[in-house]
Amino acid sequence: MEYKSYMCVVCGWIYEEEDGLPDEGIAAGTRWEDIPDTFVCPECGAGKADFEMIEI
C-alpha cells in the first residue's frame, strides 16, 4: 500500500506517513487516519483539520 503525504495549509509543513513523527510518538508508517484528532502541526500549531493530502 502506498504512503501518502499531508500538508499543513497554514504553514506548509508536511507529514509523511512513511516517516511518521517519532519525536511526537508517531511511529513510521502511521496512517493519517490513525493519528489522533488532537494532533497539531509541530511547526505552527494548526489542527489536524488544517491538513490536506498532497501528491508529490
Binding-site residue ranges for Fe cation: 8, 11, 41, 44
Q: Which residue ranges make up the annotated binding site? A: 8, 11, 41, 44
For the record, the C-alpha cell of 35 comes out as 493519528
